[in-house]
Structure 1
């Protein structure tokens, strides 16, 4: 298993933990480890027999080193498997949709028990999503058939997903103050009045 695959699995585990409302420090440790693994030039599979070498990587502690060794030997982690059983593997597909981060997926899961793209599309068509707090029609992520083909690929979403991905609760339908300001070259109508 290469570093990118390990980083992807660690990042997905962090996202599943976030959906599960786990301890923020635990979530952050998985995200940090995913970033550290992805940035390594040495393949971790060559370091699996040397725990000290794994611990020398910034962002990898004893527990995470044990998780990585287990991941390298078995191809999975017990925590990840437990979370996938609870939330279904298709939940990861929702995370790849534009505008759908762990918090939005958790909101949709808790309100509608939606765990896949088809379920999200059905909930949107039935109008269930517009009833969710802070969910505006204009900001709902596209869950049509076209979005399935434009969804982020697993490699692109692994650890390259910015932590500030917009969610429906963070998107406002009102224009930002910067976009409503007039430029110095074009004075506003209020300023032109005597």
Structure 2
């Protein structure tokens, strides 16, 4: 099954999200986000070039390190960095980003400030009234998170 740029783009987005949850260097996070955007907009499939043994084209924001990751992903379908990051961040924490309204920054805050690692933990924290006291959270966001949790529970299982 051929690997498309969109798959490589998704891997870079996942890396950026996990780096953000870990509070990594913001410039590193941004580099992965920029690379994901560039790959998403690029018109030629990079995996095809890798299979043909052709060098990657010069792409804005993609240097030697990110280029090597593109080759790794295109060649193997995997990225060692992403696998390492997934091992460092509890899987439930990463799954919190599936809840509408929770991006990497908010997940980071919930995880580090309240030790929330799952939707059930989030629901308990909302019931206890501690989420709204966090910086960047408040009553309106609490209400939206309750709605998002209800949607998250009601959606069909994806597995």
Q: Partner residue of 2:121?
A: 119
In the alignment, the residues of structure 2 paired with residue 75 and residue 128 of structure 1 have an alpha-carbon distance, to the nearest angstrom, of 41
In the TM superposition, what are the counterparts of 1:94-109 in structure 2 within 5 Å?
94-109=96-111
User: Which ranges of 4 or more aligned residues in structure 1 deviate by more than 4 Å?
Assistant: none
In the alignment, the residues of structure 2 paired with residue 144 and residue 23 of structure 1 have an alpha-carbon distance, to the nearest angstrom, of 30
Q: Partner residue of 1:64?
A: 66
Q: Which has the higher helix share?
A: 2
- Give, in angstroms, the shift of residue 35 of structure 1: 0.6
Q: CA RMSD in A?
A: 2.1
TM-score (norm 2): 0.81
Query: How many residues are paired up?
Result: 149
1:100-119 deviations in Å (ceiling 9; x for gaps): 12111100010222233233
Unpaired runs of 5+ residues, structure 2, are none
Unpaired runs of 5+ residues, structure 1, are 154-194
Q: Partner residue of 1:50?
A: 54
The answer (yes or no) to whether the contact 1:13–1:80 under 8 Å persists in 2 is: yes
SS of 1:81's equivalent? helix
The answer (yes or no) to whether the contact 2:47–2:75 under 8 Å persists in 1 is: no
The answer (yes or no) to whether the contact 1:95–1:105 under 8 Å persists in 2 is: yes
- Give, in angstroms, the shift of residue 78 of structure 1: 2.0
- Give, in angstroms, the shift of residue 24 of structure 1: 1.2
